[in-house]
Amino acid sequence: MESASGVHEVCDRYVAEYAAADPVQATLFGIAGYADRLTDYSPAGHRLRAEVARKALGDMAAIDPGSDSERVAKAVFCERLGSELEVQDAGLRAASLNVIASPAQDIRMVFDLMATETAAEWAVIAARMGQVPDALRGVRASLVAAAEDGRISARRQLDKTAEQAETWAGRRGDLGFFTGLIAPAREVAGAPVDELEQSARAADSAYGEFADFLRNELAPRAPVADAVGERTYRLWSRYFTGADIDPREAYDWGWREFSEIEADMRAVAARIAPGKTPAETAAVLDADPKYWIHGAAAFEAWLQRTADAALTALRGTHFDIPAAAGPLECRIAPPGGGVGAYYLGPSEDLRRPGRMWWSLEAGKEQFSTWREVSVVYHEGVPGHHLHAITVLTADGLNRYQRILSFVDGHSEGWALYAERLMRELGYLSDDGDLFGMLTEQLLRAARVIVDIGMHLELTIPAGTGFHEGERWTPELGLEFLLTRALTEPARARFEIDRYLGWPGQAPAYKLGERGWLAAREEARSRAGESFSLKEFHTRALRMGGMGMDTLRAQLAASEG
């Protein structure tokens, strides 16, 4: 039997071994020391990461927790690694290719997080950039091996990822991503410009070759059908939520939630534009100069002001926000990715700040802010940024809990809950901004319906007013987002591609929020009149990331 500190030791040891086995994710999670390396995405690399997880899980199983902090840590660790190994053992990691979160995107995106101020930092970039061709060859090898075992992404994902790779290769009108990335290095004394230029050309070219591989070698073998079926869907849903969810029950609940949000929107719309439908109200708001921002630079500045104002207003009032936490940095993302906002957290030492990246539709120059205020709250404070900095500065957590224990249902569910909370706290008093929040909530409910409906090919129920009795298809999913969820066309098209390539992830937002609301009501019931919303938030967030079933169980145990 190991000592009482064994739980945390196993967790910390796993972080070090994981980071060495996956340097790209190490950088994305803010772990220092791996910025000059890329991950081995070959079949051997996938086997190594599975072995690291399996050994750590076996070590943890032999330990009896000696304290409450160890009890929580063990529960979190075992649930997360157990779910990860289910995914790996099913061959889904090696076969991973989609339009938003697979090795093809991670290899490019990791360079967004690298420091670029000194010659030494540019030398690190040159070292990592020089490995891009080998990394992409590893991805290719795993995709081929997975295809030979019958696991291959649908044709849609291959075609769309090939388009992204062509953009990053510089084949679609602009400079290649890596050629553009290194341009500032020419102004830094001592930077290895020749090496950077050589590596950038090779990296751009490697993405072009990867696009050709997807189109010419893999796509002819790929299935046209997008649906993954119930068995694979349940596995991914459990991974993304940390909860054992019945997708058919969730589908029915999604319809009820969607209808309630629609009714709420109609009430707000009646105040903004009496007599107008929600869709017509959205057009009225889009046409209102009050909400206009012209130009990407001005939009980025507005995002920053909005994020800063929320942090200032909430610190010390509704939340205990650590003094060491810096502001959220808001930036426009490089072209070639999806459409919308995403968050990348701070480094472990907080030297690299948390950042919200906003991917814009190509050529778009006018932005309407009524849709975006709640998105800033989602990505910033009290959403992802507050969540991340609270965990990084909380007492009693090991490195695994601080850095690696990310669960979409917990994190994205919290961020969606944060949007609702800002309404409860009175920060969405402008009806346009409130309508925008409800629009985002409507989309998240639509995700539950459409994602599950398409992958399980379910029937659209009677009484919904939308193709009743028909089975879901991608075409119906797109129509639903455009006509019922008030989603802008570019985003709606990307949303459908995302759902089909990343099954179970998008519903984790709304299902995670559902779990957070249930956890809050359970805590309120246990505490009675002594319940404090601020204390509930603080206690829950300081426990770190975990699956939603684990969260509710550990909150109950900590209050027992």
Q: Tally Cβ neighbours within 10 Å of residue 246.
A: 11
d(CA 102, CA 95): 9
Residues 251 and 362 in one domain: yes
DSSP string, 198-230: HHHHHHHHHHHHHHHHIIIIIGGGS-S-----H
Domain co-membership, 183 together with 244: no
Predicted confidence (pLDDT) per residue in 145-161, tens digit: 999 999 999 999 999 99
Q: What are phi and psi of 390, to 5 degrees?
A: -65, -45
The confidence score (pLDDT) of residue 1 equals 37
How far apart CA 102 and CA 500 sit, in angstroms, is 13
- For residue 350, the model assigns a pLDDT of 86
> Beta strand 355-359 with 292-294: parallel, antiparallel or unpaired?
unpaired
Structural domain includes residue 538: no
Euclidean distance between CA atoms 256 and 318, whole angstroms: 31
What residue numbers bound the domain in which 45 lies? 6-225
Work out how many domains the chain is built from and give that number: 2
How much is the pLDDT for 327?
Answer: 85
Residues 194 and 334 in one domain: no
Pairing of strands 355-359, 329-332: parallel
Domain edge (last residue) among 170, 194, 225: 225
Integer-rounded Cα Rg, in Å, for the chain is: 23
Residues 357 and 483 in one domain: yes
Q: Are residues 33 and 112 in the same domain?
A: yes
Examine the fold and report which residue of 508, 531, 553 is the final residue of a domain before the chain moves on. 508
d(CA 174, CA 337): 14
How is residue 338 annotated by DSSP?
A: -
Both 156 and 56 in one domain: the answer is yes
Query: Is-cis flag, bond preceding 382, omega within 30?
Result: yes
* List of residues 6+ apart from 97 with CB closer than 8 A: 103, 104, 139, 143, 153, 157, 158, 161, 214, 501
Assess whether 335 and 455 both reside in one domain. Answer: yes
The reply to whether 57 falls in a domain is: yes
> Residue 484 domain-assigned?
yes
Q: Domain boundary residue among 491, 508, 525?
A: 508
Specify the pLDDT at position 560. Answer: 60
Q: Looking at the structure, do residues 205 and 242 belong to the same domain, yes or no?
A: no
Q: Is 60 among the domain residues?
A: yes
CB atoms within 10 A of CB 178: 26
Are 321 and 439 within one domain? yes
pLDDT in tens, 224-234: 999 999 999 99
Q: Are residues 126 and 251 in the same domain?
A: no
| Within-domain flag for 217 | yes
- Please indicate, yes or no, whether residues 240 and 291 belong to a single structural domain of this protein: yes
Block mean pLDDT (10 aa), the chain, length 560: 68 97 95 96 97 96 92 96 96 95 96 95 98 98 96 96 97 92 96 97 98 97 95 96 97 98 97 95 95 95 96 89 82 78 87 89 89 95 93 91 94 96 96 96 97 98 97 97 92 94 96 97 95 93 95 86
Q: Number of C-alpha atoms within 13 angstroms, CB side, residue 142?
A: 27
The verdict on residue 65 lying in a domain is: yes
Is residue 388 domain-shared with residue 503, that is, in the same domain? yes
For residue 285, being part of any structural domain is answered with: yes
pLDDT value of residue 361: 82
- Does residue 357 sit within a domain? yes
Q: Which of 407, 391, 395, 399 is nearest to 11 (CA)?
A: 399
**What is the phi/psi pair of residue 344, to 5°?**
-125, 125
